[in-house]
Chain A
Amino acid sequence: MKLTDTLQFASGSLRGSPTRTLLMILAMSIGVASVVVLTALGEGARRYVVDQFSSLGTNLVIVLPGRTETAGLGPGMLVGQIPKEITLDDAQAIMGSRAVKRIAPLTVGSATLSRDALNRDVVVLGSTSDLLEVRHMSIGVGKFLPAGDIHESASVCVLGNQMKQELFGNEQAVGQWVRLGDRRFRVIGVLSSQGESMGMRTDELVIIPVASAHQLFNTSGLFRVLIEAKNRDSIEQAKSDAEAIMFQRHAGEKDVTVITQDAVLATFDRILTALTMAVGGIAAISLAVAGVLIMNVMLIAVAQRVKEIGLLKALGAPPKQIRSLFFAEAALLSSIGSVAGLVLGYIGSTIIGQVYPSLPVSPPWWAVIAACGTALGTGILFSVWPARRAARLDPVAALAGR
């Protein structure tokens, strides 16, 4: 018997009982679709986190005041306790490490930004010209903070895109004066719109020189020092150098925490990949259920078609051929189910993608292959028993419908 004839005969018997066939395809496709959608979600979450971290900057090492007991991301680190502060000189000293490409000290405070009668409460970031590069920001109009002595204050500011819109609308902002608290600043640049990254909306920021920020908020400590390592390989070196320099400058006290973006990212990456696989695995169980369903229905089909099987044997079909006919049915069911499931799954992921535009939902290739493979595998595996049962039927009894 030719392969095309086998497939044709099998598809004929599938079409002969459309309800049963549709139900089995439905079960298969739901299984495949759920694997696709769930892994797409997991992968989307992973990519979201990775993207967020990368948008922070590359090869980043972050120095923050205070000591956290546990390595990694601790609560103290996020809240930012106030032990001995990190000064501008400390930050500059870190530049002494050969592994460091540039640094950006960071002071954060809030103030009222006003222009004529318009007021806004804003987050003010005090930093240096290198922040632009370190933090992967980009300037839309005008210039960023000028380079120069880190200790020197200047009455200039860079506005986030949204702040500029709120205060100036479509007017030209660069060159105009605004008020931050009780001081006047001249707008020298506007950031291009960037959206959100790691919970900080750069669009709503006002950036001024770090020395000016210290005067404005009447402080001298730094909130963070962002360090960009020379390259990926020197991240660890930069980290230990920064630790050593701070240790030495703070009279032998380990009162700062140095974290690398990579370490945090890798942890998230691992956790989320594991999560995606777990969720995909759970979804794959529904495929196994679909397989059992196929087996059940095939057994019923064998029972319903004993006479036909008996006839095929009388007409000279060897046991092997009877088996292949049932395998072909299972394979057809699973492949149609897989394709339908893939289509469903992709439609589902697309809809989720539309509902949550910030989540880059797309099913990972390995999940797609695994889902289809499992579908085909279970379909054929679970048809082994029914196929063998059909092939072993006694022709005389089968013809009599027994």
Chain B
Amino acid sequence: MIELQNVSRSFTVGDQQVSALRDINLRMDAGEYISIMGPSGSGKSTMLNLLGLLDRPSSGTYLLDGGNVTDLTDEQQAQVRREKIGFVFQSFHLVPRLTAAQNVELPMILAGIAPEERKQRVEVLMQNYGLSARADHRPDQLSGGQRQRVAIARATVMKPTVLLADEPTGNLDRATGWEVLKLLEGLLEQGITLVVVTHDTEIGARAHRQIHMLDGAIRSDERHTT
């Protein structure tokens, strides 16, 4: 469960204050499927970065699973990221010198999980995502869709409770984008909270809950039961 209370985030550019988020109040329950939409510069990525503890709010409180994570140290926040949060980026962010399997293994290495278990978990995931044949390929030997699937495997290998995706289909053609989206939606069955930032209204409409942002504030927050 996620709760933002009066959260603001402003940046200092030169001697000007730019407000990226203004006084956001928001609650997301475990297992929800949420899309965030809005024009460019409306604060979608800033919000996602705050939710993922990559950034700190200028004011306000962030509660994750009931605990206040705003005041945690860098080390503690890193641990929360490691254990509870998965990221999927528009530009994949795979490490170019590592193979697909090694990229998926990376979060477990950082978490200090034993090699045997790592190997086993990577194998299962690669199989599930249809990547077994590509395990030893480097990112530059993979197609865009394959890269994003590797990135999703990497984001889920630590079994996070929240998955944050910033325009996951932005760099993919339509068909591949849909495949990737289906893969993400499949994770809902495991009870994950899925937050997808997108420009694509058709994709955004698939989410059970749609948040529209404008100028750093939430303009509308609608639930659909499909």
Contacts and interface: CB of A to CB of B under 8 A. Distances in A.
Nearest to A310: B93
A319 B75 contact: yes
Which of A311, A312, A313, A319 has most chain B Cβ within 10 Å?
A311
A5 B106 CA distance: 10
Given A314-B87, A396-B55, A399-B89, A320 B110 contact: no
A355 interface: no
A154 B98 CA distance: 91
Contact of B54 (A15, A314, A318): A314
Given A1-B112, A5-B109, A313-B54, A318 B97 contact: no
Interface string B55-98: 10000000000000000001100111111010101000101011
Interface string A12-47: 110110000000000000000000000000000000
Interface residues of A, number: 25
B145 interface: no
A390 B5 CA distance: 32
Contacts of A317: 78, 82, 110
Contact of A1 (B49, B89, B95, B109): B109
Nearest to A17: B97
B110 A321 contact: yes
Given A2-B112, A316-B110, A396-B49, A311 B93 contact: yes
A9 B87 CA distance: 21
A312 B107 CA distance: 8
A125 to B, nearest CB: 75
A307 interface: yes
Contacts of B106: 312, 315
B109 A318 contact: no
A13 B74 CA distance: 25
Interface string B152-187: 001000100000000000000000000000000000
Interface string B186-203: 000000000000000000
Contacts of B97: 12-13, 15-16
B111 interface: yes
Nearest to B73: A318
A386 interface: no
A308 interface: yes
Q: 6 smallest A-B Cβ distances: which pairs?
A: A316-B82, A318-B78, A16-B97, A316-B81, A318-B75, A395-B54
